[in-house]
Amino acid sequence: FGVLTLSVLTIGWLLARHLTVPLLRLVGAARALAGGDFSARSDVHTQDEIGVLAVTFDAMAERLQRQHLATIGALASAIDARDPYTAGHSLRVGELAAALGRDMGLPSSSIQHLQVGGILHDIGKIGIRDSVLLKRGSLTVDERILIEEHPRIGLRILGPAGLPGEVLDIVGAHHERLDGTGYPLRLTSDELSIFPRIAAVADVFDALTTHRPYRPAIPVEDALRLLERE
């Protein structure tokens, strides 16, 4: 009787574990997606009803992620289109930042934050008038001050959108520098998370390797050497 009871309990425990483990993974992925992590996937591949539900959920999450990136990409492209010399800059910064995150072994959620933040990093420039933003000559002191406000403007624009803090960190701090000489807040290395640091590298690299009205693009090798000295 004791052996039989133990066998029944063991079988019951195994069956419960077979059901609850994938179900909990699915619930966790759903919560992450609801919290704004569009990279969340259940990765459940069982051959039962839970497996079917998980495959459907993962397909839905992937579609939502594509739509999310396409929407913010269209917004960033509209901003970049104001200046033919920066067309495509925001999308490239997003891709570069995500690639750096992958090379560093960061989790998928962090890579998504890097891509989204990279795409949106210059959204505040929508609040800068064309006479300043598109000026080909040297900026006056007042014009420079206005340009340096675009991270703050970006944060005000995106504040009501409920975006993750990592994305907002990139928008607000991608022009900060480790030694405190950046803008707009003159933050130092101790005050900067890894997200704006990575986005800043992607931003500068793309700026250096694309043509601008005041200078031609420089070779990739030269851009990398300049970044290493910073």
> Known catalytic residues?
125
- HSE at residue 178, side-chain half, CA atoms within 13 A, is 9
Spatial neighbors of 5 by CB under 8 A, at least 6 apart, are none
Instruction: Specify whether the CB–CB gap between 96 and 118 falls below 8 A.
Output: yes
Which residue type is seen at 226?
L
| Number of continuous H segments (helices) and E segments (strands) in the chain | 10, 0
Closest CA to 75 of 65, 90, 59: 90
